[in-house]
Amino acid sequence: MEDFSKKITLLYIPFLLTSIGLCLGYTFLNWLIIINLELISIKDVIIDFGLPLILPAIPVLFYLRPKLKLLNLSAKKGGSWIDFYTFILWVAISVPILIAQNYIETATGELTPLKNISQLDSLPKTKYYSVEGVYIEKNNIGTNSVFEVSGKHNENFDMYIYVTVPMYRSATDTTEVISWLGLNYSKSIKNNLEDNEKEEAYTAFANQTQLDFDQIDLTQFGYLMRVPNSDKGDGLRDAVKKSTKYTVANSTQLFWSVNEPFEDRNGNTLAWTGIVFAIGSLIWLIMIIIPAFDPAVLQAHESGAIDSNEEVKEFVDYLKPKEGFFITPILVYANVGIFLLMFFMGFGFMSFNSKDLIIWGANYGPLTMQGEWWRLATNTFLHGGFMHLAANMYGLLFVGIFLEPLLGRMKYVGIYLLTGIIASAASLWWNDTVVSMGASGAIFGLYGAFIALILTRVFPKEMGAGFLVSMFIFVGFNLVMGLIGNGIDNAAHIGGLVSGFLIGLALYPSLKGTFKMDGVNEKEESVDEDE
């Protein structure tokens, strides 16, 4: 009973306070800064999805994870459950925040009644409007067609048609566009079709869109809702600009029509926020009850012998360039920096579309083989989304801790860049229509070199078996995931792994006897860092 009470105090209450505090705090700031005051304009994918996933990671890693060391989470066959517990913590805190943002966006904003659409400019701006008098002119529309490629091997060709319809005061007063009503249509076909077949498919899609548009009664709607700052919003705004009735002053007055009752707009999102939070809290309670405390760690904690900032210091140390570990943090900064730049420019979070990635330097056969060979290198600093980036940076830090001190800066960065380029070339050779990106080819090259040096006993025996198992699990998992079709480029992985392994074998004679195990991982003083 005493242990249960301590678990509630040390592990459960901090979780509850963190989860509730983050959910309420972030939701309030979203409402105040973005929705109510409109101080800044940020893509909704960032506000509603990106930040709710990123922000919880900070208290989870630096506040809650260190507390998990109080529990005996060691697995019977070695290793620890602490990473699994950390992941559950992150999910339990993040998901309610995600759902809450959907609620606050739909719940916020009054339904402003308009006698006539012309009152838009004279009344305070809001999100929702009911309109009694409006003339919707279907003969002066704006249209915008957008084409994207998607899928693991670019197998899908996605077509979008955005339509904007001007709204006037009345049928007799069409001199000024008051606002625009937006509609969007989409269709996906196979990307391996010939260009003429794609043109035929688009023509059929456009004709069907025209038929659907002609049949729809745009005057029959419950209320209007402002189009948010989103990719669909961008498509609609471009459609407005292509209309002959376009004026700069009214370009932002863009709405969707909603046919459901206004009171139904929230659905059950508030209830689901509470339900998901309750489920996560219950799961976490069960998870901390099952394992026992680690007596030594608990005693040290109660006596004040444990540094509460130890986890932060360790993390910062991993990311701080220093003697023997300089290039790895720089590579992490470069990869993360490019991702964040794309993120804050509104290109996405969990995923980026192929068109944007190509513009930023992804490896794409038709362009690379036309002379843009620099794509073989630049693509190694791009990632398809957050999870892609996170997995690669974790793998890079793991291998870099051991490999960079041994190789020195020049050899280490040389292997990274060379195997990354070889991996890109392998991807291009295997399928020249794939949009390839990611540091995983270069990282697999480092892993290949690491494996070669372990097998040749450059690293000591005590590192061999355990590290080989860990690396084979990492490598095998990625290769298997590539086979089952989740968007992983196995050609690049294999190209990087094989080339790195061969480079490791070539370096073996010069590195034999230069590594010394002392505690965790140290390099002999005789090894030249800049070698």
Q: Is residue 119 part of a domain?
A: no
List the catalytic residue out of 94, 118, 427, 440: 440
Q: Is the pLDDT of residue 256 over 50?
A: yes
Token digits of residue 200: 């035929």
Rg (Cα) of the chain, in Å, rounded? 28
Query: Which of 8-22, 288-302, 395-409 bottoms out in mean pLDDT, i.e. has the lowest?
Result: 395-409
Q: Does 271 lie in the same domain as 238?
A: no
* Three-class secondary structure assignment of 170-183: ECCECCCCCEEEEE
Could you count the other beta carbons within 10 Å of the beta carbon of residue 194? 8
| CATH number (domain holding residue 443) | 1.20.1540.10
At 480 the pLDDT is 55
Token digits of residue 155: 């197998």
130 included as an active-site residue? no
Q: Which residue has the tokens 């760690």?
A: 297
| Each residue's pLDDT tens digit, 463-515 | 555 566 656 666 665 555 444 444 556 778 888 889 999 998 888 787 776 65
Cα three-residue angle 232-234-238, rounded to 5 degrees:
120
Q: Does 271 lie in the same domain as 198?
A: no
At 80 the pLDDT is 67
Q: Is residue 315 part of a domain?
A: no
Q: Is the pLDDT of residue 387 over 80?
A: no
Q: Is residue 312 part of a domain?
A: no
Q: Is the pLDDT of residue 459 over 80?
A: no
Q: Does 473 lie in the same domain as 347?
A: yes
Q: Does 416 lie in the same domain as 450?
A: yes
Token digits of residue 505: 């074998």
**Which range scores top for mean pLDDT: 140-144, 279-283, 402-406?**
279-283
The widest CA-to-CA distance across the chain, in whole angstroms, is: 90
Domain count for the chain: 3
Q: Does 251 lie in the same domain as 195?
A: yes
Answer yes or no: are the C-beta atoms of 52 and 26 closer than 8 Å: yes
- Three-state secondary structure call for residue 408: coil
Q: What is the mean pLDDT of the chain?
A: 83
Percent of the chain predicted with pLDDT > 90:
34
CA–CA gap between residue 508 and residue 54 (Å, rounded): 41
Q: Is residue 147 part of a domain?
A: yes
Range of the domain at 88: 1-110+265-307
Name 378's Cβ contacts closer than 8 Å, sequence gap at least 6. Answer: 360, 361, 362
Token digits of residue 419: 């195997």
Name 391's Cβ contacts closer than 8 Å, sequence gap at least 6. Answer: 440
Asked which of 279, 307, 335 is the last residue of a domain, the reply is 307
Q: Does 390 lie in the same domain as 271?
A: no
Q: Is the pLDDT of residue 154 over 70?
A: no
At 464 the pLDDT is 53
Q: How buried is residue 479: exposed, middle or buried, by Cβ count under 10 Å (0-12/13-18/19+)? A: middle
Q: How far is CA 458 from CA 401, 448, 504, 523, in A?
A: 15, 14, 10, 12
Q: Does 29 lie in the same domain as 156?
A: no
Q: Is residue 451 part of a domain?
A: yes
Query: Which of 300-304, 321-325, 491-495, 519-523 bottoms out in mean pLDDT, i.e. has the lowest?
Result: 519-523
Q: Is residue 313 part of a domain?
A: no
Q: Is residue 382 part of a domain?
A: yes
Q: Is the pLDDT of residue 314 over 90?
A: no
Q: Which of 239, 274, 226, 269 is nearest to 44 (CA)?
A: 226
**Which range scores top for mean pLDDT: 96-100, 226-230, 242-246, 264-268?**
96-100
Per-residue pLDDT, averaged over 243-258, amounts to: 74
Percent of the chain predicted with pLDDT > 70:
83
At 466 the pLDDT is 52
Q: Which of 376, 374, 391, 404 is nearest to 339 (CA)?
A: 391
5 included as an active-site residue? no
At 79 the pLDDT is 52
Per-residue pLDDT, averaged over 181-192, amounts to: 91
At 520 the pLDDT is 37
Q: Is the pLDDT of residue 281 over 50?
A: yes
Q: Does 428 lie in the same domain as 408?
A: yes
Q: Does 384 lie in the same domain as 275?
A: no
Token digits of residue 396: 């890079």
Q: Is the pLDDT of residue 97 over 80?
A: yes
At 414 the pLDDT is 92
Name 250's Cβ contacts closer than 8 Å, sequence gap at least 6. Answer: 176, 177, 178, 179, 180
List the catalytic residue out of 493, 499, 510, 526: 493
Name 262's Cβ contacts closer than 8 Å, sequence gap at least 6. Answer: 111, 128, 130, 222, 223
Bridge partners of 168, per DSSP, are 135
Helical spans, DSSP H, in 320-439:
327-344, 354-360, 365-368, 375-378, 386-407, 409-430
CA–CA gap between residue 250 and residue 186 (Å, rounded): 26
Q: Does 230 lie in the same domain as 269?
A: no
Query: Which of 38-47, 117-126, 264-273, 327-336 bottoms out in mean pLDDT, i.e. has the lowest?
Result: 38-47
Q: Does 529 lie in the same domain as 389?
A: yes
Q: Does 64 lie in the same domain as 175?
A: no
